[in-house]
Structure 1
């Protein structure tokens, strides 16, 4: 247990350190630092989640989860320079995540769970389409939101814990909707600034740790040793 803590927990602690400190230092404040340093600071939180997944899952699944987190980190940084490049990186990550969750579908769902997953996609896409004031951007935003919403729906209906992985994916989706709202109704509101990063970062944190915890418990199903997240 001690070796597991020494080997793996530091990556989660580093992720939390960079993810939380970025919010207070760079989102709620404007530090006088070189832009490349701020961009690297922004990407570090999710980058350490990618490393955590790669180390904790010594199999192909670890590489997939690591790739999902890595494209998220690339998107975080690229958004500071070009919105479309950043969105493209996130889109690749969402497509990988959709394929990944499809391999771990939950066999039994209640009617309410099915209904929520089905309605989540068109409802989210419509909101995203309706939000921007510049209607020339509405279609592209809706197309991008489709990938996020499908990813969240697939995470919600996967056999990973719904209250961690599913909820984390929903938080990611809400974070993006708030970004789109900042392009319209909430353009002059402080709400997106206050909520976008915490919802996104902790959503990613919950997704990564929830997947790793579930798969490691499955790998250790025949072992008496406790599994560390």
Structure 2
């Protein structure tokens, strides 16, 4: 019954999950390294953008729904571009983070707790620092500043912290695993196994958490 409801009511989310699973198992073979792999990878978050657009009716969508969709589209472009050119892919993701920061800052929690403030500050400062320590590259630390601002703003927003905030933290962790490949700390085989599922799970949590709030199904905090 639950699966049937998912197919009937949220087909774009189901299609996104199917694309993400397909990419995970295709990425290490010749098919996954070519056009089909890139299509599956881009479709994973791209279909989350479609899900977000369709799931929130136009009369409820407003600025926040549009910002969410734009951030997801930019991230999907980054997913594809980063396999072709690391710098261009990073630029797409940095742009996605800027859009997400605007979304979260315009939806700040009116009364954040001391713990929430502490975690938000830790993400803002710690994300670029850890990014630099893992990669040893100044340009990665600069990107890490955008990443940390996004995660910090998500945690400090009025969206559910243990859905949207945690999703943003998962995004940070997945990027840290990528950066670990560049520096002296060898975490193999964890990056190969975990980067994609952690990243995608984070994006799903962010998208579904915000969509449910915009639909009034999940109370803001």
Per the normalisation by structure 1, the TM-score is 0.86
Q: For residues 52 and 125 of structure 1, do their structure 2 counterparts lie closer, same or farther at Cα, with a shift above 3 Å needed?
A: same
User: What's the CA shift for 1:124?
Assistant: 1.6
Residue 82 of structure 2 is matched in structure 1 by 79
Moved more, 177-186 or 94-103: 177-186
Aligned to 2:22: 21
- Structure 1 residues 74 and 50, CA gap change in structure 2 (3 angstroms): same
Give 1:116 deviation, angstroms: 1.1
* Alpha-carbon distance in 1 for matches of 2:156, 2:92: 24
Q: Residue 123 of structure 2: which of 120, 128, 133 is its match?
A: 120
- Counterparts of 1:123-162 in structure 2, within 5 Å, are 123-132=126-135, 135=136, 138-162=137-161
- TM-score normalised to the size of structure 2? 0.89
Deviation at 1:32, TM superposition (A): 3.6
Q: Secondary structure at the match of 2:182?
A: coil
Greater gyration radius: 1
* Larger deviation, residues 174-183 vs 52-61: 52-61
Structure 2: stretches of 5+ with no match in the other structure: none
Q: Give me the whole-angstrom Cα distance separating, in 1, the residues matched to 2:24 and 2:32.
A: 15
For residue 99 of structure 2, the aligned residue among 88, 96, 105 is 96
Post-superposition CA distance 1:10-63 (Å, at most 9, x none): 00000110112211221xx31446712211111111010000111122223322
Segments of structure 1 that go 5 or more residues without pairing to the other structure are: 222-229
Aligned counterparts of 2:32 and 2:52: Cα–Cα separation in 1: 30
- 2: CA distance, partners of 1:105 / 1:199: 25
Aligned CA-pair RMSD: 2.0
Flag the 1:188–1:171 CA change in 2: closer, same or farther, 3 A.
Answer: closer
**Could you tell me whether the CA contact under 8 Å between 1:8 and 1:52 is conserved in 2?**
no
Counterpart residue number, 1:206:
205
Is residue 42–residue 80 contact of structure 2 (8 Å, CA) maintained in 1?
yes
In structure 2, the residue corresponding to 1:80 is in which secondary structure? Answer: helix
Residue 195 (structure 1) aligns with: 194
Q: Alignment length, in residue pairs?
A: 211
8 Å CA contact 1:55, 1:62 repeated in 2: no
